[in-house]
Structure 1
């Protein structure tokens, strides 16, 4: 489904279901050099169990037009504009990595519009090493290889993910290369990493959030290790921490565990 947001076409995967304003809505927000497809299992499950699903491509990524957001704050304003364009008054937000910061900032800016906030593979501050920042700018293919090494704890996914025999490193690298190549005018890799690294509003943002917050973390995550969430967890008003056996790519390494955690969290009363 396409919406016009800030004058540009924005693509949202709906799990194959028509949007129904009478149903509750879940918005899925991807991370750097990803797109809506990283949520394929989770988004399809929610779409087939009574929810509207908006698994978006961020501006300038794959099927969405417009300039890629240069900051977490810009991306949060985009998400609010998307809710307006879709006619959604309230939604649950689920974000991974960069997307988790976007979801957090969105919930802080419009707490009355967010019923549940799920931060998957998150950290604050989300510091990016100088080597990765430089690589994303000057040698993206080398940086993609580095990110894949740091993001995975398994070589092959369990059955509910991409299927037996799939090489996680290879499929993730192919996705990242495709997303990078989808924008010939801007380096969405470096822009996204810099936005993560520059974000300084996390602790103030979590204090402004009014809804329940889920921290969904991977115990083998080298990109955003669980210990890096302590400041946010301590300041969240209504928080729950779920740790699964996975690296940073939680949705592909622990697909069922991520789905079940999101299902139980979002289905609970706010």
Structure 2
């Protein structure tokens, strides 16, 4: 689905179903150097089981027009403008990694829009090492390889990983390379710099009143579960689900992530109904 957001074209995947804003809406935001496809294994199920699903490509990513936005605050404003463009008043907002900060800041800015908040592979502060930040600026291909290794718990995933012959690491690497090819204007560095400079996470978390879910990977080297303690401590009513995966938990543990997201979305909607 194509929308006009802040005067530019924005693409949203809707899970293989026509988008109906009258249904309970769930919005899932991807992380750095990614696009909507990282949610493919969860979004289709949700769209075919009672939810209206919006999975946007952030500006400058995938099929959405650029330029990429340089701060979490700008991206949160863009996300709220996307809801307006789609005719969505309230939704469950979720995000992975950089996307989790965007969803958190959007809830902070417009709490009345959130039925619930799902934070996957999250941490705050989301600091990026100086070496990786510089590599993302000067040698994006090397940064892609570094992050791809750090984001996965194994180079040889079990045969039960999605799709016969499907390479979890290979698919993630090709996706990031494709983002570079589509937007060669230092996209990875722009994303990492936005994560690194975001300074409102503690204040935003302290004001979250809606139901909240944390999904954390037990083997996550990019955002280890222990590093989320500031957020989980600030959102004391949040539920924590830990899955057996690294940072790329939506592909490494797709069923466990889906089970947690689906149950949370149903609960958030039922809470509203009562």
Give the structure-1-normalised TM-score. 0.96
Contact 1:93 1:116 in 2 (8 A): yes
What's the RMSD between the two structures over aligned residues? 1.3
Match of 1:11 in 2: 11
Shift, 1:156, TM fit: 4.3
Which residue number in structure 2 is paired with residue 35 of structure 1? 35
Tell me, yes or no, if the aligned pair for 1:120 and 1:216 is still in contact at 8 Å.
yes
Is contact 1:158-1:164 (8 Å) kept?
no
Equivalent runs, 1:142-153 vs 2, <5 Å: 142-153=142-153
* 1:240 counterpart = 2:239: yes
Alignment of 1:70-109 (within 5 A): 70-109=70-109
Gapped regions of structure 1 (runs ≥ 5): none
Q: Give, in whole Å, the separation in 2 of the partners of 1:218 and 1:21.
A: 31
Structure 1 residue 171, shift from structure 2 partner:
1.3
The number of residue pairs the alignment matches comes to 269
Distance 1:254 1:8, change over 3 A: same
Q: Does 1:115 find its partner at 2:93?
A: no
Separation in 2 of the partners of 1:194 and 1:116?
A: 27
Paired residue for 2:209?
210
Name the CA distance, whole Å, in 2 between partners of 1:161 and 1:17.
Answer: 25
Question: How big is the shift at 1:178?
Answer: 0.2
- TM-superposed CA distance for 1:128, in Å, is 0.5
Q: Which moves more between the two structures, 19-28 or 93-102?
A: 19-28
SS in 2 for 1:27: strand
The Cα of 1:162 is off from its aligned counterpart by 3.7
The whole-number CA distance in structure 1 between the counterparts of 2:101 and 2:10 is: 20
1:266, distance to aligned residue in structure 2 (A): 1.1
What does the per-residue CA deviation read over 1:6-33, in whole Å, with 9 as the maximum and x for residues that have no partner?
A: 0000000001111212201110100001
Any unmatched runs of 5+ in structure 2?
none
